[in-house]
Amino acid sequence: MSVGKSLLVCCCLVLAGCSAENSASPSEQNALEPEYSRKQVLSMAQEKYLNFARHHSPVEGYPRAVNDANEWVQVPLNWTSGFLPGILWNLAHWLEHDELQQQARRWTVNLDDAAHWSTHDIGFMVDYSFGKGYRATNETQYLPVMEQGAKNLVTRFNPNVGAIKSWNRMGRHTVIIDNLMNLALLFEAARLFADDRYYQIALTHAYTTADEFIRQDGSTFHVVDFDPTSGAVMRKHTEQGLNASSTWARGQAWAIYGFAQTYGYTGDVSFLEAADVTAKAFISRMPNDGVAPWDFDAPGEAQKDAAASAIAAAGLWLLSNLHDNPDTISVYRKASQRLIDALLNPRYIDLNESGESLLMHATGHFPAGSEIDTSLIYADYYLIEAMMMQLGFIDSPL
């Protein structure tokens, strides 16, 4: 698929169908009615995360998943380490809460080593902590780590491929759809440090992703392997989805959010079109209960991934803010609200003070049997962000 032709045609079909989407779909009619209000859940988020931040040390590690008692297990530096600081910065920014901001600083500064980590996920780790810290406070102490993180990230860019390498695989340049989310660090760095190289690398990576990851029906591949010398595509497949031709739900959610975010930074309409077609594909395949399965092609009563729902809800709301057409805005906002509505009940939300997480029934890596039917820190992050945008507490991600 090329950005210039096939994507434009597909996008036109999406936008033409917006008025039809305004009528109640099966998933809208049968989605779970919310039993908790968004403000109620956000209030509990403030309580849970302030309590956790007070009583734990970042030296002991950062939360990723919970144990059987719904307590966060602190683990060493990894791709999810930036989400707790991100939650704290978001809540502090909304509430203008001094102690939350102090804790956000505390859990951010300990992550400075992330800027030197050899990974494509530096954006998640650095921009969600130091980047949010800078944008929330305008304090320049956060800038050196952001700059170092950006410098590190661009070392993974291969101009033959036109993309930043995700995983280190022998004989191939492997790129995953998730990598779109890390481009925000480069766009921010280009602006902050007046270095157009960051912008151009992020832009090129996004073009390559739009060209090679989106199928004709708007669904996405999880992984594309390129020849590192010629740049030719070697294989399109999945690691965390059902199979090479299936649609891994969280990957589809990353695509919605990542392309919308990229359009916000660039104003390049091809990325708005990419966000539109991936959003349409996600919305059209949602089950009647309104909660995403781990893979849209998984057979039977598939394991749920509440994290995919939360990410998509945040991405759809962000996408709605980028459109001018009232009908299109309405479609995306209703879909975003339905995704969150379906989660706001005792099955998916833990409002007990004894539990440290909020959102239950997320799925990390189903094929590997890892982090299945659990709470994950990034699921809580995007749940909180989506609700804050829906309530108008923030216009866009901090």
Residue 315: its pLDDT value, please? 99
Q: Which residues pair with 66 in a beta bridge?
A: 72
Q: Would you state the structure tokens that stand for residue 80, as one six-digit string?
A: 């999810």
pLDDT tens-digit map of 247-275: 999 999 999 999 999 999 999 999 999 99
| 178 is annotated as contributing to ligand binding | yes
397 lies in some domain? no
250 is in an annotated binding site: yes
Summary mean pLDDT of the chain:
94
User: Does 246 map to a domain?
Assistant: yes
Residue listed under structure tokens 């057409």: 325
Q: What is the DSSP string of 46-114?
A: HHHHHHHHHH--GGG-EEEEE-TTS-EEEESS-TTTTHHHHHHHHHHHHHT-HHHHHHHHHHHHTTGGG
119 is known to lie in a ligand binding site:
no
On the question of pLDDT at 215 being above 90, the answer is yes
Residue 254 is labelled as binding a ligand = yes
Task: State whether residue 174 is helix, strand or coil.
Answer: strand
Residue 84 lies in a domain: yes
**Options 98, 112, 121, 324, the catalytic residue:** 121
User: Which of helix, strand or coil describes residue 373?
Assistant: strand
- Tens digit of each residue's pLDDT (9 = 90 or more) over 152-196: 999 999 999 999 999 999 999 999 999 999 999 999 999 999 999
| Relative orientation angle of helices 98-109 and 83-95, to the nearest 10 degrees | 160
Mean of the pLDDT values across residues 67-71?
95
Active site residue 178: yes
Q: What angle do the packed helices 377-390 and 38-55 form, to 10 degrees?
A: 140
| Confidence at residue 1, expressed as pLDDT on a 0 to 100 scale | 43
CA separation for the pair 320, 255 (Å, rounded): 15
Distance CA 38, CA 352 (A): 16
Residue type, 194: A
Q: Is 121 a catalytic residue?
A: yes
Residue 328 is part of a domain; what is its CATH number?
Answer: 1.50.10.10
Residue 396 lies in a domain: no
Q: Is residue 398 part of a domain?
A: no
> Which residue in 210, 203, 253 sits closest to 7, CA to CA?
210
Closest to 239 measured CA to CA, from 169, 155, 156, 339: 169
pLDDT score of 7: 56
Tens-place pLDDT, residues 5-58: 445 444 544 444 443 343 344 344 445 689 999 999 999 999 999 999 999 999
Domain of 272 in residue numbering reads as 6-390
Please report the pLDDT score of residue 33 as a whole number.
Answer: 86
pLDDT tens digit string along 216-230?
Answer: 999 999 999 999 999
Residue 56 domain-assigned (yes or no): yes
How do residues 136-156 score in pLDDT, each as one tens digit? Answer: 999 999 999 999 999 999 999
Q: Could you give the number of structural domains in the chain? A: 1
Determine, yes or no, domain membership for 1: no
Q: How far apart are CA 217 and CA 142, in angstroms?
A: 42
Q: 77 burial class (0-12, 13-18, 19+ CB within 10 angstroms)?
A: middle
Residue 395 covered by a domain: no
Measured in whole angstroms, how far is the alpha carbon of residue 266 from the centre of its chain?
Answer: 18
pLDDT at res. 71: 97
Q: Determine the pLDDT at residue 387.
A: 99
What are the CA-CA distances from residue 47 to residues 50, 52, 100, 197, 357 (Å)? 5, 9, 10, 42, 11
Q: Provide the 3-class DSSP secondary structure of residue 244.
A: coil
**Rounded Cα–Cα distance for residues 91 and 394 (Å):** 10
Phi, psi for residue 391 in degrees, rounded to 5: -85, -5
Q: Which of 68, 112, 113, 178 is catalytic?
A: 178
Burial class (CB in 10 A: 0-12, 13-18, 19+), 26: exposed
pLDDT of residue 347: 97
The answer to whether 121 is annotated as binding is yes
